Amino acid sequence: MTRRTPYPVNQLQPGAPIYWRSLEEREQYAEPSAFDALQKERAAEFTADELAAPSETNGFDRRGFLSIMGASMALAGAAGCRRPVEKIVPYTQMPEQVIPGIPSHYATVINRRGEALGLVVESHEGRPTKIEGNPEHPASRGAADLIAQASILDLYDPDRAKKPSRLSVDSSWTAFATELETELNSFRGEGGARLHILTEPTNSPTVLRLRAAIARSFPNAKFHSYAPVSNSNMREGARLALGQPLQVHVAYDRARVILALDSDFLQTETANVRSTRSFTGGRRLHSPRDTMSRLYVVEPSLTTTGTNADHRLRLPASQVFAYTAALAAYLHDNGTNLGEVGEAVKKLPKPDAVPAEWVSGVAKELMQAHGRSVVVAGSRQPAIVHALASAINQALGSVGVTMAYTTPVDPAEIDVVANIRELAEAIRHSDVGALLILGGNPAYDAPADLGFGALIKKVPFSVHFSSHVTETSKATTWQLPRAHEFEAWGDQRSIEGVYAIQQPLIAPLHDAKSDVELLAMIAATAETNGKELVHATLAETFHNGAMVEADWNRVLRDGVVRSSVYQAMTAVPIKSPEIATAIAAEIAKQPPTAADPLVKGVVEVAFAPDAKMFDGRYANNAWLQELPDPITKISWDNAATLSPKTAAENGVSDGDVIRLRHGGQVATIVAWVVPGQTDGTVGVHLGWGRTVSGRVGTGRGFDVYPLRTTESMSFVTGVRIEHAGERYPVSQTQEHNAMEGRPIAREATLATYKQKPHFAELQAPPPKTLPLWKKVVYAGHKWGMSIDLNACTGCNACVIACQSENNITVVGKEQVAKGREMHWIRIDRYFVGDGDNPAVAYQPLACVQCEEAPCENVCPVNATAHSPEGLNDMAYNRCIGTRYCANNCPYKVRRFNYLDFKGEFWHGSELVEYDKLPKTVKMAQNPNVTVRMRGVMEKCTYCVQRIQRAKIAAKNANRPMRDGEIVPACAQTCPADAISFGDLNNPSSRVARLSELDRKYKLLAEVGTAPRTTYLAKVRNPNSEMKG
Amino acid sequence: MSYFQPIPELGEGPLVAEGTNFKVVTETVSRVTERKAPRGWWICFLIALSLVGVFTMTIGYLFWKGIGIWGNNSPCYWGWDITNFVWWVGIGHAGTLISAVLFIFRQRWRTAINRFAEAMTIFAVICALIFPGIHVGRPWVAYYMFPLPNQMGVWPNFKSPLLWDLFAVGTYFTVSLMFWLVGLIPDFATLRDRSTGRIRQMVYGVLALGWRGSNRHWKNYERAYLILAGLSTPLVLSVHSVVSFDFATSVEPGWHTTIFPPYFVAGAVFSGFAMVMTLLLIARTVFKMNHLVQMRHLELMNKIMLVTGSLVGYAYAMEFFTAWYSGSEYEMYVFINRATGPYAWAYWTMISCNVICPQLFWSRKLRRSIPVMFVVSILINIGMWFERFVIIATSLHRDYIPSSWGYFSPTVFDICTYLGTFGIFFTLFLLFIRWAPMIAIAEVKGILPEADPHYDPHGSHGAHGSREGSHGYALEPQGAE
């Protein structure tokens, strides 16, 4: 700092000009005595030594100190009161097609349980924010399921693995490459004999190509594929029945009768989006003259598919084979020739648990359908059930009508359980020198009897390639970050072969590589870049190596190669003798069935993939964690489901912690009583109780993998059920299951509908009283929505779609327990009828945008008001949070920000402003939707931002709005196409026509709210000859 | 103010005990404010002040974190906050009723309790008014409720009952405060005149607004008092009617009821009287004011409680009838659920306290028993709190759509907030008894025989101010208005 001469204030020179402020002062100074006095005064205040130059020893004079103090105070003040400086740099060169504020859409594809689901991703200035289905893609046809919808949050998960780590110490890809090369070179001599690569089953041609390349470099290297939930049984069944592992395709929309054998094809099986589309397609009713399919479901636990059944039989999973055999035997005896299979099944005693009508009645229906029927076996059922189903379908003439076969994407894929057992054996015999685990989490989800987590540690060099640090990563030498599907190039073929390119939406957020890049690294191929690798596959597979840029661009734009569909096989002969032999073997194996399934203390446990966590890989996704289970409505946990009778028999009630013990295997889990569960069985969901996950997923729910062994991957009988002597708090979003006889989710049977098409409105007619005031005339647009309860399967995809589109916050388990979840749309699930095997009614409920909205009248500050187009708008800025509107909402669809949930959730109890959120979480948010602060009310807006966007687009193009131009997030993702939206003033719009269908009704219209959302009542199609 | 002449034929007796004269009245009331505060007062004051501390901290935390610290949830968006609000407003009802309505109807016995009741009203309304301010999600913009001109051109929604409520309670508070302060003027002057210290003289001097007790002052004062009483009377009916509109105008089953306004007013009078009774019994015992607040007064209050309690009971029954008669399944369910559902315990607490308890007062012996009336008054206070809770929680927790049904459980912060308002109430109340005349000196004097100086033809009755025999009353009928 500079040293300046102090001001000579104490040396007032006589005769120096005096500065004066008033005449009096001047006179005062003019007197010499006064001048002296002034001089003395000043000298006293600023003594000479204080003002002298700083001494050499001291170094810090008063002035200097004050300067520093002053400067630092000023700086502190500046830092405290100014906004942080952020540079806003405009584009000097505009990137092509990026217009700030206008989102772009890119086609890509993600893997959903072995199926490629084509997507279109909305991207704001290079930041993907919202998933939609790709209308061009056959697996999607514009729809997506709940996990696909939630995958955007996985991309931005702040807990993802960020850089490669070696033994939990941060490292780099270069270090890994060096070590990998050394390792690989050491195996090269023996052709890679001690090199084992464990992958998940794949549908990616590039991965398969690179695998082949690795196999060329290391001919003796072993590839294993394992996934805890797979379609191995289906493939093995096809191998048994048809001689080759074929993919089964079902056209539910063409079937009149569907029999699902423990198959949850609407939710957790492969191709659920496609199945939902076609299933609801076969049940769409526009008039009483229309027909609809009839669904029979045989299953142990209540599933989404079971809740949509017209008839549902509760049967332990172990007895589904016996049931199928009995059905086959009946068909064979009554004119449907099943050949040797028919003879073989007759030897099986009829299962006691099955009512006779379920054999004869269903068989008659199947036969009467003349080929327009289909029998579907679930992936949980053993190969023999799949083979038997194929034989029945063949005999009924369904193949080629309601179902078909194609070759699978990876014909070499073999049974996953055998595969991982083989690998475990190899490790145990120290035959594995290097183990590369590419994806998956075997330490968590491999069969418990293998003790895979411990085995991995025995391998000298092990690598785990995964998006997160998981249980497996903790056991391996290396953890390598795997790029998210939206960050990396790749490709996938759908089950019928349609090729789609996985196009990255954003550069990897972290130091991650894609699957193909890592494989290329191992294979040491010429191309190392993901794009080049995929480009090469496409050129090789579909263009014989010669592909022009236009072809590539077209594929990128459309997201699909249309010509890539496999040839459907409809004339594959059934190998009856082989099936008959297998049936005979199975009969010999079958234990005698217990007459009474209710044995105290002993149950059969069936494992099912979770509708949200799937096999556990989505555990760190807060949207999915908070989403209620479609059946139990439990959020943030899983539970073992027991029937009321089983629970009573074992003295278990909701919230008791139980131990399920089979041999040495034990799983501890909270019990929950669910009507519809088969007596004597317990249903459990995989994918919970992760011990190494992120901040969201760790320790949520209960891990049931410890009970799952190589022998019992699907279900296990003779499990001891014990009390653990504890209680566990469970949060549910819906605690009351009955409709209390109220006309809420209205329904009728098809027969009733045909007699009384207006049954729904007759249940609670809208009021006929005249309005108290002049009716508002909506001259311009009049937005409305129609929700077809007959289509809705209760899958919950709309809930996540809405959460993603509207920046809806997650509140956490404790807040859900207090009933403070924020979902704008919810699926109400009601049990109807029989307490043991109830029917289920679903009702998606969001704000119905009442024309006479009770919420609007009571808001003291006008924060919720009606738009000229009839929307019930929320002005968040104006809301003071009296919550009166929510009290007065008969539908209870308003949601209040009781706390600063955005911050609360990520930082525990500590209050954190929105600014302190993990940056990536904020990136997932839709810039067109306000992020609500604590203390304000919010609710469904019919996606007003989309309405505005479409209106602006139409106005810019100077044209009237087209019907279907505005699609709210819920409607867009709905695989069942249950929701439609549009202008009610346009008589030809889809929504206007649907809102006038005979099944229409307005929920709680009798209150006088005049809702804009119209429901179309559900129609069930029961067989009048069956009792249950 | 004029002397109260009891009519023995009607069973009336004097309103003050034998031997009470101007001096006794002035002494009894004023000395409380002049002597050193007794230890008991300090103990109570410190307890009350600690509760204010609890309240302040709770509210601080509430503002910091949000409404989520309370038990409010979906579907019970309102819980203890509005329950407490309505309860305190209800308690604040008796003051105006006693002061204004009884004044207009010339119920002279009110003089014993009116000051007390008015003070209680003011403090209860202060406690009540806290809730609309703090129960909102964003209290820093609570001023949006006021019709303030602003650049956005947005006005409050005048259709909202919550807004009516704000104005109704605000008006009620203002008028009650004015009424109370005007009534205090002559008494403050008395205190001023008795003051020895300079500060006391100054403070009471200011509060007495230059009162000299001139004829003109009295004339103006009585006129002002009458006008304010006239203004307050409709407010007694309006405040709680408007508060009930919060519920009655909604579409919620259990709220949407036309019986609410009279039912709420009856309930408010009921709870207000109960609270006055509780406090009065304590003060009467502690400050030995049996000669001013007589058994007769207490008995009259008990009769009012019996009447209003029965009215409330009738309203409870009528709600059930209306629900059944309406044929609306939602409405019917709410009432069945009230009596038999998860909140049945609250409902039956309410019924026992509000309907069954006051029936004891049919017995003359019981309604003249201090312990009985004390216990009953406390039970009524509890019962009336439960009434509001039952209306709010049981209606909200199970309304139209069963999937949204829930249950409300309070958190420790709900309890602290509620207790905290007691702290505020009692702090203010203790300050009031310590520093202001807790019984209306001037008004009590007005009902003494001395207030009616008259010519005594027999000249046998000694000094002015003595009260001997009752025949004197009958001789001067012009003394009564």
pLDDT tens digits along A750-793: 999 999 999 999 988 887 877 777 888 898 899 999 999 999 99
Q: Please say whether the beta carbons of A967 and A727 come within 8 A.
A: no
Tokens of A177: 């490459």
Chain B residues with beta carbon closer than 8 angstroms to that of A890: 251-252, 399-401
Largest CA distance in chain B: 85
Q: Within 13 Å of residue A747, how many CA atoms lie on the same side as its CB?
A: 24
Task: Tell me whether A178 touches chain B (CB under 8 Å).
Answer: no
Q: Is the peptide bond before B75 cis (omega within 30 degrees of 0)?
A: yes
Q: Within 13 Å of residue A457, how many CA atoms lie on the same side as its CB?
A: 8
Do A995 and A925 fall within a single domain?
Answer: yes
Residue A374 pairs in a beta bridge with A258
Do A751 and A898 fall within a single domain?
Answer: yes
Find all residues with CB under 8 Å of B15, minimum gap 6, and list them: B4, B6, B108, B109, B111, B112, B294, B296, B297, B447
A869 located within any domain = yes
Tokens of A133: 């289905």
SS3 state of residue A975: coil
Query: What's the burial of A563, exposed, middle or buried (CB within 10 Å: 0-12/13-18/19+)?
Result: exposed
Query: Taking CB atoms and an 8 Å cut-off, how many pairs form between chains A and B?
Result: 173
d(CA B79, CA B388): 10
Task: Tell me whether B406 touches chain A (CB under 8 Å).
Answer: yes
A160 located within any domain = no
A274 located within any domain = yes
A146 located within any domain = no
The type of residue at A647 is A
Do B157 and A739 lie within an 8 Å CB cutoff? no
The tens-digit pLDDT sequence of chain B (481 residues) is 455 667 777 767 777 766 777 888 888 888 888 888 888 889 999 999 999 999 999 999 999 989 999 999 989 999 999 999 999 999 888 778 877 888 888 777 778 778 888 888 899 999 999 998 899 999 999 999 999 988 888 899 999 999 999 899 999 999 989 989 999 999 999 999 988 889 999 999 999 998 998 999 999 998 999 999 888 888 888 888 999 999 999 999 999 989 999 999 999 989 988 988 998 898 888 877 777 778 888 898 899 999 999 999 999 999 999 999 988 889 999 999 999 999 999 999 999 999 999 999 999 999 899 999 999 999 999 999 999 999 999 999 999 999 999 999 999 999 999 999 999 999 999 999 888 988 888 888 887 777 777 666 665 444 444 444 443 333 333 333 3
Chain A, window 487-526: residues with a beta carbon less than 8 angstroms from a chain B beta carbon: none
Do A254 and A203 fall within a single domain?
Answer: no
d(CA A981, CA A975): 15
- Inter-axis angle of helices B114-134 and B412-435, nearest 10: 150
Interface test with B, best of A889, A936, A1004 (most B CBs within 10 A): A889
Mean pLDDT value across chain A: 87
Task: Tell me whether B83 touches chain A (CB under 8 Å).
Answer: no
SS (H, E, C) B338-397: HHHCCCHHHHHHHHHHHHHHHHHHHCHHHHCCHHHHHHHHHHHHHHHHHHHHHHHHHHHH
Residue A222 pairs in a beta bridge with A196
Tokens of B358: 């006051």
Do A642 and A603 fall within a single domain?
Answer: yes
Sheet strands side by side (includes A127-133): A104-112, A115-124, A127-133
- What dihedral do alpha carbons A661, A663, A667, A673 form, nearest 10°? -30
Task: Tell me whether B157 touches chain A (CB under 8 Å).
Answer: yes
Q: Is the pLDDT of residue A869 over 50?
A: yes
Task: Tell me whether B396 touches chain A (CB under 8 Å).
Answer: yes
Chain B, window 450-469: residues with a beta carbon less than 8 angstroms from a chain A beta carbon: none
Do A447 and A470 fall within a single domain?
Answer: yes
d(CA A164, CA A512): 8
Q: Please say whether the beta carbons of A893 and A824 come within 8 A.
A: yes
Which residue among B71, B160, B329 sits closest to A858, beta carbon to beta carbon? B160
pLDDT tens digits along A975-988: 999 999 999 999 99
Find all residues with CB under 8 Å of A727, minimum gap 6, and list them: A655, A656, A657
Chain A residues with beta carbon closer than 8 angstroms to that of B66: 897-900, 934-935
* pLDDT of the residue at A696: 86
The type of residue at B430 is L
Find all residues with CB under 8 Å of A594, minimum gap 6, and list them: A680
Chain A, window 708-767: residues with a beta carbon less than 8 angstroms from a chain B beta carbon: 734-736, 738-742, 744
Which residue among A828, A861, A881 sits closest to B67, beta carbon to beta carbon? A881
Task: Tell me whether A866 touches chain B (CB under 8 Å).
Answer: no
Task: Tell me whether B332 touches chain A (CB under 8 Å).
Answer: no
Interface test with A, best of B404, B407, B408 (most A CBs within 10 A): B404
Confidence of residue A32 (pLDDT cuts 50, 70, 90): low
| DSSP code string of B213-240 | --HHHHHHHHHHHHHHHHHHHHHHHHHH
* pLDDT of the residue at A600: 80
Chain B residues with beta carbon closer than 8 angstroms to that of A911: 64-65
Express the helix, strand and coil content of chain A in percent, nearest 5 each: 30, 20, 50
Q: What percentage of chain A reaches a pLDDT higher than 70?
A: 90
Task: Tell me whether A883 touches chain B (CB under 8 Å).
Answer: yes
| CATH number for position A957 | 3.30.70.20
Chain B residues with beta carbon closer than 8 angstroms to that of A879: 137-138
CA distance A807 to chain B (A): 20
- What dihedral do alpha carbons A444, A799, A287, A285 form, nearest 10°? -10
User: Considering only CA atoms, which of A920, A902, A921, A919 is closest in space to residue A911?
Assistant: A902
| Structural domain harbouring A422 | 165-230+412-483+508-529
The DSSP secondary-structure symbol of B73 reads -
pLDDT tens digits along A707-750: 999 988 999 988 999 999 999 999 998 888 888 888 999 999 99
| CATH number for position A472 | 3.40.50.740
Chain A residues with beta carbon closer than 8 angstroms to that of B86: none
User: Considering only CA atoms, which of A238, A241, A567, A166 is closest in space to residue A415?
Assistant: A238
User: Considering only CA atoms, which of B325, B271, B309 is closest in space to residue B93?
Assistant: B271
Q: Which H or E element spans position A620? A: none
- What dihedral do alpha carbons A503, A507, A511, A516 form, nearest 10°? 20
Q: Within 13 Å of residue A782, how many CA atoms lie on the same side as its CB?
A: 17
A91 located within any domain = no
The type of residue at B90 is G
Do A890 and B142 lie within an 8 Å CB cutoff? no
Residue B412 pairs in a beta bridge with none
A845 located within any domain = yes
SS3 state of residue A480: strand
Do A885 and A927 fall within a single domain?
Answer: yes
Task: Tell me whether B75 touches chain A (CB under 8 Å).
Answer: yes
Which residue among A830, A845, A860 sits closest to B162, beta carbon to beta carbon? A860
Residue of A nearest to B246 (CA): A858
Do A858 and B74 lie within an 8 Å CB cutoff? no
The alpha carbon of residue A166 and the mean position of all alpha carbons in its chain are separated, in whole angstroms, by: 31
From A376, A406, A436, the end of a domain falls on A406
Q: Please say whether the beta carbons of B23 and B468 come within 8 A.
A: no
The alpha carbon of residue A786 and the mean position of all alpha carbons in its chain are separated, in whole angstroms, by: 24
A642 located within any domain = yes
d(CA A110, CA A49): 80
Do A450 and A338 fall within a single domain?
Answer: no
Chain A, window 931-970: residues with a beta carbon less than 8 angstroms from a chain B beta carbon: 933-937
B288: left (phi over 0), alpha (psi -120 to 50) or beta: left
B66: left (phi over 0), alpha (psi -120 to 50) or beta: left
Which residue among A744, A884, A897 sits closest to B401, beta carbon to beta carbon? A744
Q: Please say whether the beta carbons of B388 and B87 come within 8 A.
A: yes
d(CA A476, CA A890): 55
* pLDDT of the residue at B99: 77
SS3 state of residue B89: helix
Do A869 and A933 fall within a single domain?
Answer: yes
pLDDT tens digits along A189-234: 888 888 999 999 999 999 999 999 999 989 999 999 999 999 999 9
Do A906 and A867 fall within a single domain?
Answer: yes
Do B402 and A736 lie within an 8 Å CB cutoff? yes
Residue of B nearest to A841 (CA): B403
Residue of A nearest to B156 (CA): A861
CA distance A304 to chain B (A): 18
* pLDDT of the residue at A11: 52
The type of residue at A893 is V
Do A860 and B154 lie within an 8 Å CB cutoff? no
A326 located within any domain = yes
Do A830 and B77 lie within an 8 Å CB cutoff? no
Confidence of residue A848 (pLDDT cuts 50, 70, 90): very high
Do A812 and A867 fall within a single domain?
Answer: yes
Task: Tell me whether A826 touches chain B (CB under 8 Å).
Answer: yes
Query: What's the burial of A376, exposed, middle or buried (CB within 10 Å: 0-12/13-18/19+)?
Result: buried
Q: Is the pLDDT of residue A46 over 60?
A: no
Residue of B nearest to A909 (CA): B65
Chain B residues with beta carbon closer than 8 angstroms to that of A859: 157, 160, 162
Number of structural domains chain A divides into: 5
pLDDT tens digits along A321-376: 999 999 999 999 998 888 888 888 888 887 777 888 999 999 999 999 988 999 99
Task: Tell me whether B136 touches chain A (CB under 8 Å).
Answer: yes
* pLDDT of the residue at A563: 86
Do A738 and B402 lie within an 8 Å CB cutoff? yes
Q: Annotate B448-459 with b (16+ C-beta within 10 A) or e (fewer).
A: bbbbbeeeeeee
Do B250 and A887 lie within an 8 Å CB cutoff? yes
d(CA B192, CA B201): 5
* pLDDT of the residue at B463: 45
Summarize the confidence of residues A72-99 as an average pLDDT. Answer: 65
d(CA A646, CA A684): 15
pLDDT tens digits along A554-608: 888 888 988 888 988 888 888 888 899 998 888 887 665 555 566 788 899 999 9
Do A472 and A385 fall within a single domain?
Answer: no
Summarize the confidence of residues A141-153 as an average pLDDT. Answer: 93
Do B400 and A1004 lie within an 8 Å CB cutoff? yes
C-alpha distance from residue A245 to each of A374, A381, A405, A411, B96 (Å): 19, 16, 10, 7, 88
Do B251 and A935 lie within an 8 Å CB cutoff? no
Which residue among A736, A891, A937 sits closest to B405, beta carbon to beta carbon? A736
* pLDDT of the residue at B236: 82
Task: Tell me whether B162 touches chain A (CB under 8 Å).
Answer: yes
Which long-range contacts link A417-420 to residues 24+ away (Cβ below 8 Å)?
A417/A232, A417/A447, A417/A710, A417/A713, A419/A224, A419/A225, A419/A226, A420/A198, A420/A224, A420/A226, A420/A446, A420/A447, A420/A450, A420/A452, A420/A710
Residue of A nearest to B71 (CA): A818
Task: Tell me whether B141 touches chain A (CB under 8 Å).
Answer: yes
d(CA B94, CA B266): 10
Tokens of B405: 């049904």
CA distance B123 to chain A (A): 24
| CATH number for position A351 | 3.40.228.10
Query: What's the burial of B43, exposed, middle or buried (CB within 10 Å: 0-12/13-18/19+)?
Result: exposed
From A391, A406, A421, the end of a domain falls on A406
Tokens of A671: 């019990």
Do A204 and A351 fall within a single domain?
Answer: no
Task: Tell me whether B137 touches chain A (CB under 8 Å).
Answer: yes
* pLDDT of the residue at A55: 47
Q: Is the pLDDT of residue A1 over 80?
A: no
Q: Is the pLDDT of residue A9 over 50?
A: no
Write down the residue that tokens 């209860």 correspond to.
B124
The alpha carbon of residue B438 and the mean position of all alpha carbons in its chain are separated, in whole angstroms, by: 15
The type of residue at B319 is E
User: Considering only CA atoms, which of A943, A941, A983 is closest in space to residue A964?
Assistant: A983
